[in-house]
Amino acid sequence: MSSLIEIHRAAVRLFARQGYAGTGIRDLGKEVGINSATLYHYAGGKEEILVAVMARCLEGLLAGGRRALGHSADPAVQLVRLVRLHVAMEAVNPLTAYVTDREVRALSAANRAAVLALRDDYESMFQQVLERGKRTGRFQIDDLPTTRMALLEMCNGVSNWYRPGGRLSVPEIQDRFADLATRLVGCPPVPPAECGTDLAVAVLDSEPLDHRADEEALA
């Protein structure tokens, strides 16, 4: 019954609740229901678990990002699709996204560099879309780096307050954020019809299935 996936799920749940440094491997074992020594039979170690979770999350965003960009050449459509993808990832996998965001500093130098390389690749998609939108006059952007950071932080923040089964459905959250994003870049709303329907986001292996016990994390 216990497997690597179960371990990753338990790790994400505990890392999100107590932080990576604040979680012991004995806590991890207890959460999975096995001895801490058995963890090393499946996973190479504590940091290896964290790296695997982060890499899978970021690779999911990267793969989705490439799908998002290829659908249309219009920067507005591309931006909305990027935002809808990102928001969906954060809303469907809030704990995984939360840990991926906030525990980078816990990694050793080599692993941190690898994770940051993935993240930089992903964020450069936003950079390029914003640049082209500004250059072509599709967007009215004052300072591009500030707008890019504000946009990304706004989307990243979803994992801080949203949980599956919340007041809004995932498509509703996507609609709200698509509107907010077009407002930020000074661009008229993009009809949902132009956005395609290939932006569904799957539940990651590392995402705990039951988020009920994490409501206090929404502090």
Q: Which residues of this protein are in contact with its own copies, per CB under 8 A?
A: 17-22, 102, 104-106, 112, 116, 142-143, 145-147, 149-154, 156-158, 160-161, 167-168, 172-173, 176-177, 179-180, 183-184, 186, 217, 219
Choosing among its own copies, DNA, none, which partner's interface includes residue 167 (Cβ < 5 to 8 Å by kind)? its own copies
d(CA 16, CA 163): 13
Measured at the CA of 182, the angle between CA 178 and CA 187, to 5 degrees, comes to 150
Choosing among DNA, its own copies, none, which partner's interface includes residue 171 (Cβ < 5 to 8 Å by kind)? none
Residue 90 or 207: the one with the smaller Cβ distance to its own copies is 90
Choosing among its own copies, DNA, none, which partner's interface includes residue 139 (Cβ < 5 to 8 Å by kind)? none
Out of 5, 35, 136, 198, point to the residue binding DNA (CB under 7 A).
35
Token couple for 102: 């906030």
Considering only residues 134 to 173 of the shown chain, the ones binding DNA according to CB under 7 A are: none
Residue 45 or 70: the one with the smaller Cβ distance to DNA is 45
Please enumerate in sequence order all residues whose Cβ is within 8 A of that of 216, keeping only pairs 6 or more positions apart, or say none: none
| Phi-psi map region of 196: left, alpha, beta (phi>0 left; psi -120 to 50 alpha) | left
Binding status of residue 111 toward DNA by CB under 7 A? no
Taking CB under 7 A as the binding criterion, the range among 41-49, 50-58, 91-99, 126-134 that sits at the site for DNA is 41-49
Asked whether 53 and 151 are in contact (CB, 8 A), the reply is no
Taking CB under 7 A as the binding criterion, the range among 36-44, 56-64, 165-173, 201-209 that sits at the site for DNA is 36-44
Binding status of residue 67 toward DNA by CB under 7 A? no
Binding status of residue 25 toward DNA by CB under 7 A? yes
Asked whether 56 and 67 are in contact (CB, 8 A), the reply is no
Out of 19, 26, 128, 171, point to the residue binding DNA (CB under 7 A).
26
Amino acid at the residue 145 = P
Asked whether 53 and 100 are in contact (CB, 8 A), the reply is yes
Asked whether 35 and 95 are in contact (CB, 8 A), the reply is no
Q: Around Cβ 129, how many Cβ atoms within 10 Å?
A: 27
d(CA 151, CA 146): 8
Q: In the bound complex, what is the minimum distance in angstroms from residue 77's beta carbon to DNA?
A: 45
Q: Around Cβ 117, how many Cβ atoms within 10 Å?
A: 11
| Binding positions for DNA, rule: CB under 7 A | 1-2, 23-27, 29, 34-38, 40-42, 45-47
